[in-house]
Amino acid sequence: MSDKKKATMIIDRDYRIGEIDDRMYGSFIEHLGRAVYGGIYEPDHPEADGRGFRRDVIELVKELRVPIVRYPGGNFVSGYNWEDGVGPGEDRPRRPDLAWRTIETNQFGTNEFVLWAEQVGAEVMMAVNLGSRGVDEARNFIEYCNHPGGTYFSDLRKAHGYASPHNIRTWCLGNEMDGPWQVGHKEAEEYGKLAREAAKVMRLVDPSIELVVCGSSNPLMRTYPEWEAAVLDKTYNYVDYISMHIYFQNNENDVGTFLANTLSVESYLNTVIAVCDYTKARKRANKTINISFDEWNVWYHSRGQDARIEPWSEAPPLLEDIYTFEDALLVGLMLITLLKHADRVKVACLAQLVNVIAPIMTVNGGGSWRQTIYYPFLHASLYGRGLALRPVIESPVYDNATYGDIPVLDAAAVWNEEKEELTLFAVNRDQTGPLDLKCDIRSFEGYTVLQHLVLEHEDIKAENTAENPNEVVPRQDGRVALESGRLQAELPRLSWNVIRLGKR
Ligand code: AHR
């Protein structure tokens, strides 16, 4: 008899969580480090198109099918004047960016970003500055972007060469305003009032927009979750989403705890959702506030290098984490967690997209490559669209000092009814060996296995680099069999698995 660990799962077409909003697979470009300059925009690069956009980067972003990209920050937005980044390039001022203590040349701004987003097939998620600025800036900026014409700012946009409005649908009311590091940081009440008034005028200019109010910067903030309660108390009737952010680190080099971190995201989500619904009840409101998880990723590898960067440089290599295989597993686990909350998480942004804590890296003047974390994100974006189903999981556990019993298996299931495809995303957290998975999918009659993608590596610290970009890549030959509605698969030790089934 095999002594392999065993887990079971039931997936049924009737155990529905909810429709997955495509914006679950969003990302983020901030004016930070080499995200914009040297990342998506490098006019002197041999691959640059007529507008200075790197074609190689456009191709990689398109491969990821990112539906929405948040811009221009992040901390950057809280000291940003959008007016600096529009109009003729030679008239745009160089400014100190106080968030990252670099120089912002403003050669790339709103209109360039809108054009770039169009090229990659993504919507823009725009943030207004509620740090150093406020209501007046917010109304002018949305007038510039979304008003058809015949007013001062919409005509200015036309004079800048953009006859049609950009019609940006999703807007963030500032960024991480609870954070003392933020330019123009605010107390919850103060921010709540400002966000409400900004929301009001922005909707007066364009009633079709959707608005995201700032939640806490992370669940360890001293003011969490009172911040959410106080802010929603002021803004409930004016906004559509509240933001959540989280970054993971493994400074202690403890794989078991690192991979268990997504359990804390479960309680973070449950808490913020509870605050939203409590506020809904208190206000006798009909509408439900959903979640925009608009920053999430692993971030810690680059901290030491960043501390050595000279202030006031132009586009220095900031936050350039080189990701390991273990980071890819955590990204996979986070995607599974988000899918399990697809009924309430309507927008999520992997932070960020290029060079800055990113799945895509570039060399200035040189090539571009995919980090380890690129692959779970790619798989989820390609195959994780449709209806999220709730898997019933029975899994062995390992003991962890921080989180207690941790199931070695975590999994999500997505059914694309139209394409008649069912996809299972599963991570085996076990450090000791493979996991035998038995899964009952009897309600999916006539389905057969299309593919079992596996991302694994014997070295948990393996990385992809510019010199060796294919050290960690998925393989397609996972061990899986299906008979009479019962699926049996082997999930290798520490692995990300995508099992695709369909009617073909
Ligand atoms: O993504 C990097 C930074 O992390 C963002 O600027 C900020 O919002 C967060 O603290």
What's the Cα-to-Cα distance from 147 to each of 77, 84, 114, 351, rounded to whole Å? 22, 19, 15, 29
Q: Is 292 in the pocket of ligand 1 (CB under 6 A)?
A: no
Q: How far is C-alpha 67 from the chain's CA centre? A: 11
Distance (Å, rounded) from C-alpha 246 to C-alpha 317? Answer: 22
> Which ligand 1 atom is at minimum distance from the Cα of 73?
6
- Rounded to 5°, angle at Cα 373 from 372 and 377: 135
Distance (Å, rounded) from C-alpha 386 to C-alpha 19? Answer: 6
Helices and strands, counts by H and E, the chain: 11, 25
Does this model's pTM top 0.95? My answer is: yes
- DSSP secondary structure, 442-485, as one string: TTSTT-EEEEEEEE--SSTT-B--SSSTTSS--BSB-EEEEETT
Q: Is 74 in the pocket of ligand 1 (CB under 6 A)?
A: yes
What's the Cα-to-Cα distance from 270 to each of 265, 274, 376, rounded to whole Å? 8, 6, 24
Q: What is the pLDDT of residue 2?
A: 60
Distance (Å, rounded) from C-alpha 95 to C-alpha 459? Answer: 44
Q: What is the pLDDT of residue 361?
A: 98
Q: Is 206 in the pocket of ligand 1 (CB under 6 A)?
A: no
* CA of residue 131 to ligand 1 center, whole Å: 14
Distance (Å, rounded) from C-alpha 99 to C-alpha 71? Answer: 15
Encode the chain (504 residues) as per-residue pLDDT tens digits.
467 999 999 999 999 999 999 999 999 999 999 999 999 999 999 999 999 999 999 999 999 999 999 999 999 999 999 999 999 999 999 999 999 999 999 999 999 999 999 999 999 999 999 999 999 999 999 999 999 999 999 999 999 999 999 999 999 999 999 999 999 999 999 999 999 999 999 999 999 999 999 999 999 999 999 999 999 999 999 999 999 999 999 999 999 999 999 999 999 999 999 999 999 999 999 999 999 999 999 999 999 999 999 999 999 999 999 999 999 999 999 999 999 999 999 999 999 999 999 999 999 999 999 999 999 999 999 999 999 999 999 999 999 999 999 999 999 999 999 999 999 999 999 999 999 999 999 999 999 999 999 999 999 999 999 999 999 999 999 999 999 999 999 999 999 999 999 997
- DSSP secondary structure, 32-53, as one string: STTSTBTTTB-TTSTTB-TTSB
Q: What is the pLDDT of residue 1?
A: 46
Residue 278 in tokens: 């409590």
Distance (Å, rounded) from C-alpha 59 to C-alpha 41? Answer: 13
Distance (Å, rounded) from C-alpha 463 to C-alpha 472? Answer: 7
Distance (Å, rounded) from C-alpha 243 to C-alpha 228? Answer: 9
- Is 314 known to be catalytic? no
Strand partners, 243: 292
Distance (Å, rounded) from C-alpha 368 to C-alpha 361? Answer: 5
Distance (Å, rounded) from C-alpha 241 to C-alpha 213? Answer: 6
Q: Is 352 in the pocket of ligand 1 (CB under 6 A)?
A: yes
Note the helical H segments in 87-178. 110-120, 135-146, 152-159
440, 486 Cβ separation under 8 angstroms: yes
* CA of residue 299 to ligand 1 center, whole Å: 10
Q: Is 73 in the pocket of ligand 1 (CB under 6 A)?
A: yes
What's the Cα-to-Cα distance from 454 to each of 174, 376, 457, 494, rounded to whole Å? 39, 10, 10, 10
Tokens 């984490």, located at residue = 321
H or E element, residue 487: strand 486-491
Distance (Å, rounded) from C-alpha 439 to C-alpha 389? Answer: 14
Distance (Å, rounded) from C-alpha 436 to C-alpha 52? Answer: 50
Distance (Å, rounded) from C-alpha 326 to C-alpha 330? Answer: 7
What's the Cα-to-Cα distance from 343 to each of 228, 239, 264, 346, 377, rounded to whole Å? 19, 18, 19, 8, 20
H or E element, residue 71: strand 68-71
* CA of residue 447 to ligand 1 center, whole Å: 43
Could you tell me which of 8, 15, 89 has the C-alpha nearest to residue 415? 15
- Is 320 known to be catalytic? no
Distance (Å, rounded) from C-alpha 77 to C-alpha 18? Answer: 33
Burial category of 320 from C-beta neighbours within 10 Å (exposed 0-12, middle 13-18, buried 19 and up): middle
User: Which residue CA neighbors atom 5 of ligand 1 most closely?
Assistant: 74
* CA of residue 29 to ligand 1 center, whole Å: 10
* CA of residue 36 to ligand 1 center, whole Å: 15
Distance (Å, rounded) from C-alpha 111 to C-alpha 109? Answer: 6
Distance (Å, rounded) from C-alpha 382 to C-alpha 390? Answer: 19
Contacts of 251 (CB under 8 A, 6+ apart): 300
> DSSP code of 354?
B
Q: Is 216 in the pocket of ligand 1 (CB under 6 A)?
A: no
Q: Is 72 in the pocket of ligand 1 (CB under 6 A)?
A: no
Residue 238 in tokens: 């004016």
Distance (Å, rounded) from C-alpha 329 to C-alpha 474? Answer: 12
